[in-house]
């Protein structure tokens, strides 16, 4: 895997989690926030669905920037390219990437060849539209374990997604695979000592610097140590998603709440020499709520 995360392009379920009130668990979660600094290494972005105010795209961009974010992710395909391009030009606020909006229902691992063809079409169009608005990643859920055995899901999804890699390389837009609760690449009923070994092998199957991981820090804390997963994935990590999680309560939480070891996450990111974007994927809201989310990211990521 080439060191895609060092490229200059990378240096420049939406809104499903409820807003969580500040309590003692948040204070505990942020207590060691300054042990390792990531200042100058991480840029904060968020999912467009989190911005609940603003009538136009430009207004939403301005609200996100005022709240403390450096960029924003859209859902693709589905947005108006001309409208977004105009909003980027008028606000100077970048769209750093997109999320392939159909990947949960229209899957690259589906047994039906017709469905897989549609999944490929959506991915290619997402890459094209993302390039058109200046983004550099398309987040992708590669499939679901319910579509067959692990081997079947693996082979089908790799074969299908691989067809989009030449286009990704031509456009300079990376396919960023997200680790999610999709019953694939880990044991969904297993314990908390699982490793990222299968994800490492999966990404390497593509043999391309244009396929990497948008590693979600909170998603697999239930199943393994995110710091260790980051170390194992290394330069395959080209982008981050962030949310909180409590192993004790077995539920997602606000950023900085729960019992996730963010200090070790920061150490791991330094060890792999990560530079790039981190996207909030939590419940959004008004300007005040977005400022709160940005502040939590600053603290747990060592950006202040």
Percent of the chain with pLDDT over 90: 88
What does the pLDDT read at residue 36? 82
- Tell which phi-psi region holds residue 148, choosing left (phi > 0), alpha (psi between -120 and 50) or beta: left
Instruction: Dump pLDDT digits (tens) for 4-35.
Output: 443 333 333 333 333 333 344 443 444 444 46
Asked if residue 74 lies in contact with residue 279, where contact means CB atoms within 8 angstroms, the answer is no
- Calpha distance 8→302 (Å, rounded): 22
Q: What is the pTM of this model?
A: 0.88
Percent of the chain with pLDDT over 70: 88
Higher-pLDDT residue of 289, 220: 289
pLDDT bucket at 113, cuts 50 / 70 / 90 = very high
What does the pLDDT read at residue 88? 99
- Residue for token digits 């060849």? 113
pLDDT bucket at 147, cuts 50 / 70 / 90 = very high
* Domains in the chain: ranges and CATH: 4-300 (3.20.20.150)
pLDDT at 130 over 80: yes
Q: Which of 64, 29, 58, 27 is nearest to 43 (CA)?
A: 64
Tokens of 227: 């710091």
For range 51-77, the mean pLDDT: 98
What mean pLDDT is reported for the chain? Answer: 91
CA–CA distance from 137 to each of 68, 157, 168, 220 (Å)?
Answer: 21, 19, 9, 21
Tokens of 184: 């694939």
Higher-pLDDT residue of 2, 217: 217
Among 11-20, 194-203, 205-214, which stretch is predicted with the lowest mean pLDDT?
11-20
For range 64-78, the mean pLDDT: 98
What does the pLDDT read at residue 266? 98
């Amino acid at each position: 895997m080439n060191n895609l995360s060092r490229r200059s392009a990378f240096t420049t379920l939406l809104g499903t989690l409820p807003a969580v009130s500040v309590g003692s668990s948040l204070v505990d979660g942020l207590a060691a926030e300054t042990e390792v600094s990531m200042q100058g290494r991480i840029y904060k972005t968020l999912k467009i669905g989190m911005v609940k105010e603003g009538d136009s795209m430009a207004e939403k961009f301005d609200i996100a920037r005022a709240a403390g974010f450096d960029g924003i992710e859209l859902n693709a395909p589905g947005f108006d390219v001309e409208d977004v391009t105009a909003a980027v030009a008028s606000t100077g606020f970048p769209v750093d990437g997109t999320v392939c909006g159909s990947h949960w229902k229209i899957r690259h691992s589906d047994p039906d060849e017709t469905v897989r063809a549609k999944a490929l079409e959506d991915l290619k169009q997402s890459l094209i539209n993302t390039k058109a608005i200046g983004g550099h990643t398309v987040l992708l859920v590669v499939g679901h374990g319910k579509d067959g055995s692990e081997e079947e899901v693996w082979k089908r999804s790799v074969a299908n997604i691989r067809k989009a890699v030449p286009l990704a390389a031509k456009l300079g837009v990376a396919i960023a695979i997200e680790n999610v609760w999709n019953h694939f690449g880990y044991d969904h009923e297993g314990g908390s000592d699982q490793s990222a070994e299968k994800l490492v092998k999966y990404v390497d199957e593509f043999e391309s610097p244009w396929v990497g991981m948008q590693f979600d820090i909170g998603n697999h804390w239930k199943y393994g140590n995110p710091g260790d997963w980051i170390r194992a994935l290394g330069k395959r990590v080209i982008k981050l998603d962030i949310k909180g999680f409590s192993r004790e309560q077995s539920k997602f939480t606000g950023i900085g709440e729960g019992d996730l070891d963010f200090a070790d996450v920061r150490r791991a990111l330094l060890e792999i020499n990560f530079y790039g974007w981190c996207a909030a994927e939590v419940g959004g809201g008004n300007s005040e709520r977005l400022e709160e989310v940005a502040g939590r990211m600053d603290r747990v990521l060592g950006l202040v």
